[in-house]
Structure 1
Amino acid sequence: MRAVTSRVDGNDVLSVEWPEPVDGEIVLRHVETGEERGDADLTGLRPGIWMASHRGEPLATDDPGFSLDGLLAYAGTPRDREIRAFRTSVGTLALAVREVEPYVEVTAVVSDGGVIEVEGMIAYGEPAEGPARLVAVARKGRQPVSGSAVFRGRRFEGSLPIAPMTEAQVRRRTFWDLHAETAGLRLPLAARLDDITDKKTRVRFPAQRVGQIRVRPYYTDTDSLAVALTVEEQAS
């Protein structure tokens, strides 16, 4: 029998819906260690992949396990571990457990008019209120550049001028990582809750230019939001 839905709720409890009532316990087995757990309460699961079984057989599921609204709601609770239910390539239920730290989940980026504007929400951390900063941190040799921002509970909005990043650029290419900062707390900006893979090559933001320098936001290999500055060669 295949499960209709199989999700992890905000209290880290595995909820499985069947097409008709069934008995028998769901057992979770850690892929690397072989440890088994027989409880829908997922408290204390070690990081890694856990395969689910029912009555001694892998638990088949029709649920792909992805709901952006559900993941945003889940990330809205302060926590240090994330547990996601997903359907494997052979159609069975598994759980992915990983340690997490607070960050700002990016929901919108606008690159235009000499600024980069970002909207997002605090993921896995406590809500905040009031003025903040959108900070660009150079990976080499430059002082941070910041723009105005604000937190409204979990919501974040910030605007960063691009001209200060281009000043005194001597390398052909420089890279800046973006963060939200308030009350001494600096949270990285990233987009990790959607189902888009390989964002670095698949998601393209418009470039702006300050003189000969091209300024373009982009996602890194770890889905963090960053800015690349490139000195363009003059046409001969």
Structure 2
Amino acid sequence: MRDDDTLRIEWPEPADDTEVVLRHAETGEERSGTDLTGLRAGIWLASHRGEPLATDDPGFSLDDLIAYAGTPRDREIRAFRTSAGILALTVREVEPYVEVTGVVADGGVIEVEGLVAYGAPYEGAARLVAVPRKGAEPVSGPATFGGRRFGGSVLIEPMADGQARKRVFWDLHAEVDGVRLPLAARLDDVAEKKAKVRFPAQHVGQIRVRPYYTDSDSLAVALSVEEEAA
């Protein structure tokens, strides 16, 4: 896993990067310079020559983040601008998953496309697996990996078959060589996807089937029994 990140700063005039100091917001630990190797998880605030390092760069580029996630690594570092306009870094531990780039819910099927994030690429046949949080056995459908790219589909009828509870939740994974990678959308800057992103619903009898994003931005499916109209 790579751990060789470097902070690159474009200065309005020549400056010495060694005078940049990063301070951990919680512990107060300080690091000098722009080598980010070994930074502990958390928020780091940047200063230069003893003053907070102001920036007009929001620090977000989806294309750059997708490229960054294309390298196997066990931690992610993102630069961002605080509400006070100060350069900061957020460091968090990560595990490989599939970053969702497309979802289609139609014709009794849920189709998903995505890209491997923070893990090695795969080639060949795979499965799109729906795993119930309680009770039933997993349901899966055909999928393929082509390097970082993933595509797969799963039928919704087997998920609804025999449902006894009013509401059931299934988590979606890509499975290859016995390894399950969660499906999620975590690289963009859309907060609270669970409330903001709404996929079309399908029905199996009285059961409404709808993909949705969880609080952690993972892709899941909710199956809800609808009451008969009076």
Which AA in structure 2 matches 1:153? G
Equivalent residue in structure 2 for 1:122, among 99, 106, 116: 116
Matched, 1:104 2:110: no
Deviation at 1:33, TM superposition (A): 1.1
Aligned to 2:166: 172
Matches of 2:96 and 2:218, distance apart in 1: 13
Where does structure 1 lack aligned partners over 5 or more consecutive residues?
1-9
Any idea what SS the aligned residue of 1:70 has?
A: helix
Equivalent residue in structure 2 for 1:61, among 47, 55, 62: 55
Equivalent residue in structure 1 for 2:23, among 29, 39, 43: 29
- Kindly, what percent of the aligned residue pairs are identical? 76
Which AA in structure 2 matches 1:222? S
Equivalent residue in structure 2 for 1:20, among 13, 16, 29: 13
Where does structure 2 lack aligned partners over 5 or more consecutive residues?
none
- Aligned residue pairs: how many? 227
Equivalent residue in structure 2 for 1:183, among 177, 188, 197: 177
Matches of 2:72 and 2:177, distance apart in 1: 18
Alignment of 1:76-225 (within 5 A): 76-225=70-219
Matches of 1:57 and 1:74, distance apart in 2: 29
Cα RMSD, aligned residues only:
1.0
Deviations along 1:171-196, one digit per CA (max 9) or x if unpaired, are 01000000000000100000000010
What TM-score, normalized by structure 2, do the two folds share? 0.97
- Is the 8 Å Cα contact of residues 210 and 222 (structure 2) preserved in structure 1? yes
Deviation at 1:20, TM superposition (A): 1.7
What TM-score, normalized by structure 1, do the two folds share? 0.95
Any idea what SS the aligned residue of 1:234 has?
A: coil
